[in-house]
Structure 1
Amino acid sequence: MANVFAVHSVCRSIAAFLQGSYPASVAELPMPPCNFEVLSSSQMAGPLDDASRVGLYLHRTSVSEHSRAQRPGRITDARPAPLHLDLHFLVASWSRSAHDEQVTLAWTQRQLHLHPMLDFALLTAEAAWAADEVIQIVPADLPAEDILRIWATLGAPYRLSAAYTARVVRLDADQPPPDEPPVLVINN
């Protein structure tokens, strides 16, 4: 389980994994240069530049359906139960070339299909992940109308995109202050 930085950590971890595994060529054909980035709403709506880019845009979070049946409360008297979240994001590809957009998105989708898990070794450290933590990345069944609505809400022209869900991100409560009074230590 992790802290509140986990949401951004998952997004950064996916982008870093894709960037680190992006090949220079496939089947002896050169791959277009591409940067993989986590993007904010304003960056998604921004103008195109000449760089080919695959952006990860977190458009929604939800309480995991698998944890909804659990009664909220405490694991122990001292520790509240973690919050289980699913992260819903778009993977969008853009470039000045249709070829580059299509190739980079197809490669990204294949890579996420072949490597649908992020484990402790692939997750960025700022979230203080547990060693047994695993995040699953699955294609999301998001209707085209919903995807188009996201783009319209951003005020941006539609870009080639696919929807995914990262699940289950478990957020721990901050450590409660100890019940015992602090102990004064005097060093001589």
Structure 2
Amino acid sequence: MSGHLSLNAVSTVLGALVVDACRGDEVLKHLVGDPKQVSLANPTETAAHADQRVSLWLYRITENEFLKNVPAPDPARMSPLAVDLHYLITPFTGNAENDQVLLGKVLQAFHENSSVYVSRAADRVIDEIRIVLCRLPLEEVTRIWEALQEPYRLSVCYLVRVIEIDADTLRPDAAVREITTGMGSEVPS
């Protein structure tokens, strides 16, 4: 179960996976060796900063339809909102060959860590997430780049499931646990 900080926690974990994978690679450790070189901004904003080498842009959030009607573990609370996160990952190394190497490393890192436990106790964020490569048609990827008003760049989409965002408030219609009536066991005549 997670709170409202879970979106940022997941993005931070994905960024850490990229940095850790690149630090262990002779070619990439000089390109992406610092978390500051991973941007959570969209590719247009990332391209404006020469020190940022990869954009992990959360471009879409959708409700997970499979967990929509799962009852809350605590009947007094509302069910958590289960969402899937859609990321566009775009390398910005300034060199097409290095962009391909970096994107290959991201694919490898996310494949090897396709199931990750996200835990930040200080933020009340505890979830197991699944990192899945998206099979987006070229049309949809093109629409994303058109919305950014940028020419298409080498990029890949990932789906991260399932993030649960807990409700802070109690249910106004919480189930009644006990009812006491004025009726006895005798039937009136």
TM-score by length of 1: 0.77
**Which aligned segments of 4 or more residues in structure 1 are displaced greater than 2 angstroms?**
23-26, 34-37, 46-52, 73-77, 123-127
Which runs of 5 or more residues in structure 1 are unaligned?
178-188
Equivalences for residues 140-151 of structure 1 within 5 A:
140-151=134-145
Using a 3 Å threshold, how does the CA distance of structure 1 residues 51 and 135 change in structure 2: closer, same or farther? same
State how far apart, in whole Å, the 1-side matches of 2:82 and 2:24 are: 37
Contact preservation (8 Å) 1:57, 1:89: yes
Contact preservation (8 Å) 1:10, 1:124: no
Residue identity in the other structure for 2:54: V
How large is the RMSD of aligned CA atoms in angstroms?
2.3
Residue identity in the other structure for 1:157: P
Equivalences for residues 28-67 of structure 1 within 5 A:
30-31=27-28, 33-34=31-32, 35-39=37-41, 41=42, 44-46=43-45, 47-51=47-51, 53-67=53-67
Q: CA deviation at 1:77?
A: 3.8
State how far apart, in whole Å, the 2-side matches of 1:135 and 1:19 are: 19
State how far apart, in whole Å, the 2-side matches of 1:78 and 1:59 are: 33
State how far apart, in whole Å, the 2-side matches of 1:166 and 1:111 are: 14
State how far apart, in whole Å, the 2-side matches of 1:155 and 1:9 are: 29
- Which residue of structure 1 aligns with residue 108 of structure 2? 110
- Which residue of structure 2 aligns with residue 180 of structure 1? none
Moved more, 53-62 or 154-163: 154-163
Moved more, 157-166 or 15-24: 15-24
State how far apart, in whole Å, the 2-side matches of 1:36 and 1:165 are: 18
| Percent of aligned pairs sharing the same letter | 27
Contact preservation (8 Å) 1:91, 1:161: yes
Contact preservation (8 Å) 1:52, 1:100: no
- Which residue of structure 1 aligns with residue 158 of structure 2? 164
Which runs of 5 or more residues in structure 2 are unaligned?
172-189
Contact preservation (8 Å) 2:92, 2:99: yes
Question: Quick check: which has more Rg, 1 or 2?
Answer: 2
TM-score by length of 2: 0.77
- Greater relative contact order, per chain length (Cα 8 Å cut-off, separation 6+): 1
State how far apart, in whole Å, the 2-side matches of 1:23 and 1:102 are: 17
